Chain A
């Protein structure tokens, strides 16, 4: 008896003669979607090992359903993390070189999506494993591995190296040689050599990202423009540029990819390929698990990163393009792609001569020329099918028996989601939708498991304007990728209120002896209120956060940071900001929860089963987004 039903279907999977992991779209055969991991009890780790090994054996081709299933199991059995890690390592080492990449993608998926404890468990082995594999695989696989390696730089939930800086550096140094630069921050101090191959490989990565972005929104002129420039850059690098410029390009590229990955909820990182490709780090972060955040410092630290990078970029630009920069305003230092090019141009690195125009011309050539739109074709075929039935809306016509309905609702749509029964056609449009649909289930599953401990509630309805404007996420085709819309004002407002409540719940312990000292927030100049925490028997400053030895209002600080990072994001001309995906609510230490006046009661009921069906009691003055925090009566109540 198999522990997981529906798996036997995978075993017969034919291995395609070529094209694994290649850019060639995989064979059109249909992969069954991942079965929902059943909550089966594995009492015995050996049994689990055997079962996981068996399932791993099916991972012979790059199939995202299988990879998702395996990572879901890994997530559910994180108590056997060591077993999973051993299995995967064994598997990678044992299989022939052409089969190794899919398993690496699995390693990648588990580490990014589940993160804790897996990244930790993989860290000791990943360097050796990566390099050993890299040695034996062909050039095509190598470039795929390099691509994956690049995403690891920022794939941890905090935007740091997935397996730590040491591992990352070790691998990069080995592959690209020289004193590889770690990240944008260290870019300025670096003087070592960078290989052309490394820059090219990173260029290809960014280019790939942008092209996928363009696929999802074909009318995005900015992205088109970016791609054009990146292609020119590629041409230049291939011809050969001095070491100094390689460094310049590299740094800018990283600045481009790191702070503003593609809009998080969009599934485009996967492209139209039904195979797994390591998602750019942000994808991992959006669905990154909760626990690691708790060990992190309070959220503002996270906010600081984009800001620092922005500053570094500007500093770098000044260095790289001394002619160009005359002003010190941040707008000049915006890390725009065209900025790279123009900066290089102005610095005289690149001459605006025939070479670049030639490259530009060729890049125009590569722009997606409009073949017959597959979506339109599918529509046309459907219209033909529907109109070929002669039927009128009359009582006599509809009572005549016609068997065509099963063609239309079933046979024409052979791909069925095993989770919800929804069907898709097997043409390219249907395949893409099915991929998005599977992603949606995956995301919702993750969210559901993460949400343990948080009470859910019925949302307020959207405003009339949102409803009428029809782009609140539910218009044609858009709503399907995600179960529900997040763009509506109502939800946003609710989130903002929640975020603010959590910010206000943060506190800093007053150093002994300073209880009487009056301090004020450097941003708003208002004094900080102190109060006595009964549970901890400590005096604290409420709504406070400590940064560089200064105490700020948590709300002021967050606002300041947010406006900065928003600016940076806007300047980047990219979509969703990273700060959005890292809502402070995730990063707020649990302790802060327990001390907010209104939240207090909520956090006493940590499980949904306890929360369920219970009213959340709250004074209205809490319900009104905590307008009067820490005022007289409450402070008194806490103190007594």
Chain B
């Protein structure tokens, strides 16, 4: 065991010496590989940052720590909305009063900006709530008509501004159509399209009166997952993890797509190392023979050459750290502007995305590159095991 450790230390020492001794070729390989390191970490950091930002924004603007949904509610099926409401369970009244829970009533409607007819969702929410970031306090505005708040993308697509009056139409619980003007009390900016696009937020009481659904709601958003009680009848518990599953799935899909890009990037760098290894074994036959004559087994020489190749990854990590750390820190501070809003993509996405680098990301990337480099270093080195040492000593091509 001790001898194995000693041999390994010797192989590392020799490999390092040989690698440095190879000069420019080593440094070219190392620099190319270090680019892969830094680009992979930066790009993966963007995905991690996006995931984190998306979840934070969803927590802040839409889902809190979790929700109860009316059992008929299906956000992907507008036809369910007619029946997706029920009386707010009495056991939640105190939570709502304390601000630990926010009821939301959702119904279909139509808005008529500049005479056009556009389908929307009308959402009723208590103006005094502070659980979600929505500026619902603006719904307390007294103007003689129903005040409403909308998102900036909704405002832009419907050419609405603060202070505008616009007509909306809806059906009450009996299916009777009614219409009224609403006053745009505020326009908010948020990255969650399901809070913004085609959404009009009204005071909960007003929407309940308009739809004749007094004291009813479609969704109950809670602030603390630890306070989850037994799920009441007619309601379904949606945990935080379940609600962000779509985001996780999407990031996962993006991650797979990006991995192909990383793979190509890495293959380019690894090709250079593979080429160097092949050339080394071709050019350094005398040296290989000498190692064997001095007491190495052929497999020890294979190990030496593999370590030598794999060390490119270690040097690349060091070189990458030298310029990559300042770059990645700067990148994390300034982020990357996509020049488009979340509504254009239909997913939760900030206009400027900030990468997040975790220890796992850096360690994982380093390990993956080290492993891949070791494999491409070992592959050509296997040829050494088949070499005849006496011919290698003479430098005879094999």
Does B associate with A?
Answer: no
Question: Which of B's residues lie within 8 Å of A, judged by CB?
Answer: none
